[in-house]
Chains A and B, each alone.
Chain A
Amino acid sequence: MLERTVQIVSNERDTDQYFRLVMRAPELAMAAQPGQFVHLRVMAMKDALLRRPFSIYQARGENLSVLYKTVGKGTDVLARMGPGEELSLIGPLGHGFTVPKAGGETPLLVAGGYGMAAMYMLAERSPQKGVVFVGGRRRVDILCEDEFRKLGWDVRVTTEDGSYGEKGIVTQPLIAELRRGAAGRKLFACGPTAMLKAVAKIAEEFKVPAELSMDEHMCCGVGVCLTCVIPVKTADGWEYQRTCTEGPVFDSREVLWEVPK
């Protein structure tokens, strides 16, 4: 974990409301692992004080990049920033994905919207190529498809409005694929909570392991404030665990989707 003031290399619109932010952050880029995140402070935000967490998309040489969607105050201000401007970064943070081993399970990645960002490093570092299932509402919600294809991965796209790829939701082609054969496969997922819950259920039905990157509202990012907790099964029952520290990646069998009564 490091804290650094970093400069923006580029911050360009990808599609619609999505942006790619590249920062020069050599030490963080070197340390980054698949599924980890950075906690970013936009000093220009003034009265919005808190940092914003972003999955690490790519770590290349001295540069570290994230993909983000403009959804509120923080990302709106961020989207107006340009090369040379400074941001404060803490990272890399969190417990990421388990990188598949050569000759091990075949990875099936499942991403919703900007959940794709958290998957790239996993695909890049996995010695086993697999399939990426990516879903979004419309064509503009499908991000970095070409990058995954360049890595030699099979990409299956679904859009809810049918404007691109197969019409439907991302779990449909996933289920179809698992029906063709589930043995020796492992799921890795990042996206909206409803999608993650569906993936956990599919993993249970097909008896395949699954790692889920949970998206919870976060505050400090380093484990002190206890904002981003989710209920997790333990040997003695359950407890709240921190998405920023014990997560964001959890084994699907450990995640409780409701707080037990």
Chain B
Amino acid sequence: MNLSVKLGSLTLQNPVMVASGTFGYGVEYAQLLDLNQFGAVVVKGIRLGPVRGNPTPRTAEVASGMLNAIGLQGPGVDGFIKKYWPFLSTLKVPTIINIWGTTVEEYAEVARRFDALGGVGALELNVSCPNIKEGGAQFGTDAKLLAGVVRACRKATKLPLITKLSPNVTSIAPYAQAAEAEGSDALAITNSYPAMAIDTETRRPKLANVTGGLTGPCIKPIAIKLVWEAAKAVKIPIIGMGGIQSAADAVEFLMAGATAVAVGTANFYEPQTVPQVIAGLREFMARHNIADVRELVGSVKVAK
């Protein structure tokens, strides 16, 4: 049975990875999980310098999901390399580094720094975080700006590039095509949905940032549709994500057109989700006589 898939020049032993921001820098879960079983480990978004992040409360539980507005708290490139790379570089599976900046130049500089580091599996361009004032989704919701970021990063590195697209657009196809045209090797679809919740007793927003990003099983059908639409528009592989908590969820993304999948919010409440999804995917393939996971990609039967 073959579970391995390719994202550009990057080969994954299986198509199940984690979503940036839901798995820290890997080391936090190393006591509970064998990370070498994963398709890849994807770390939280990193910009050039350290970031303090937003005031609290930063998350709120909602029906079948949660809101977050962390604000990309992080150690910056140097802090990350010093504190987390010694552990990550010992993994047998690829580490994908999610990067961001407030200018095109910053994205390119961060890409150059990780290119020079050596041993990085791929870079994921975060052009879709809804919780920061500058950078993030501002690049992901303007196709020209998005093209500029991908172009600059493509020049800065030979590492495989994954562009993580925002769901907050009228149609995802032009964004997917812009990233593909500028040399992105793969797409990650999708990030969190802009959303809000209010505590009716206090009349205050549940998040200090007022609005945040909605994630978890409640967004899965919306994400499936985006993956399905993007897959029809581009030839590069797609990493599908949004509310995956079981192998059936993962298979659904593959059928919609994703080549790989990422588990996000489920890591917070069930850290064993990734190994469970991998085991369940094998079981599904055996039950349906599927020899190669790639047979599932885009296999949804839609009447013409």
Say whether, besides A222-B29, A224-B24, A49 and B56 are in contact (CB < 8 Å): no
Q: Are A47 and B63 in contact (CB under 8 A)?
A: yes
Q: Are B64 and A226 in contact (CB under 8 A)?
A: no
What is the chain B residue whose CB lies nearest that of A3? B32
Q: Are B32 and A1 in contact (CB under 8 A)?
A: yes
CA distance A228 to B66 in the complex (A): 15
The majority secondary structure among interface residues of chain B is loop
Q: Are A224 and B32 in contact (CB under 8 A)?
A: no
Contacts of A224 in B (CB 8 A): 22-24, 28-29, 44, 267-268
Q: Are B55 and A219 in contact (CB under 8 A)?
A: no
Q: Are A259 and B55 in contact (CB under 8 A)?
A: yes
Contacts of B70 in A (CB 8 A): 225-227
Q: Are B269 and A49 in contact (CB under 8 A)?
A: yes
CA distance A187 to B294 in the complex (A): 61
Contacts of A202 in B (CB 8 A): none
Which of A2, A41, A245 is in CB contact (< 8 Å) with B269? A41
One digit per residue, 1 when the CB lies within 8 angstroms of any chain B CB and 0 when it does not, for chain A 107-122 equals 0000000000000000
Q: How far is the CB of B278 from chain A (nearest CB, A)?
A: 17
CA distance A79 to B266 in the complex (A): 24
Answer whether residue A130 sits at the interface, using C-beta atoms and an 8 A cutoff. no
One digit per residue, 1 when the CB lies within 8 angstroms of any chain A CB and 0 when it does not, for chain B 64-83 equals 11101010010000000000
Q: Are A227 and B267 in contact (CB under 8 A)?
A: no
> Which residues of chain A from 3 to 38 have any CB-CB distance to chain B below 8 Å in the complex?
3
What's the interface size class on A, roughly? 20 to 34
Contacts of A48 in B (CB 8 A): 61, 63
One digit per residue, 1 when the CB lies within 8 angstroms of any chain B CB and 0 when it does not, for chain A 208-231 equals 000000001101101111111110
19 contacts between A and B (CB under 8 A): A49-B61, A49-B265, A50-B61, A50-B66, A90-B32, A217-B56, A217-B59, A219-B59, A219-B268, A222-B32, A222-B271, A224-B267, A225-B70, A225-B268, A227-B57, A227-B68, A229-B53, A239-B52, A240-B73
Knowing that A49-B66, A225-B70 touch, tell me 18 more A-B residue pairs with CB under 8 angstroms. Answer: A1-B32, A48-B61, A49-B64, A49-B65, A49-B265, A50-B269, A51-B269, A90-B271, A219-B68, A219-B268, A220-B267, A224-B23, A224-B28, A224-B267, A225-B22, A227-B56, A229-B53, A240-B52
Binding site for A on B (CB under 8 A): 21-24, 28-29, 31-32, 44, 52-53, 55-59, 61, 63-66, 68, 70, 73, 216-217, 265-272
Binding site for B on A (CB under 8 A): 1-3, 41, 47-51, 88, 90, 216-217, 219-220, 222-230, 239-240, 245, 259
10 closest cross-chain pairs (CB), A and B: A224-B24, A220-B268, A227-B59, A223-B28, A1-B31, A47-B63, A47-B64, A219-B59, A224-B28, A49-B269
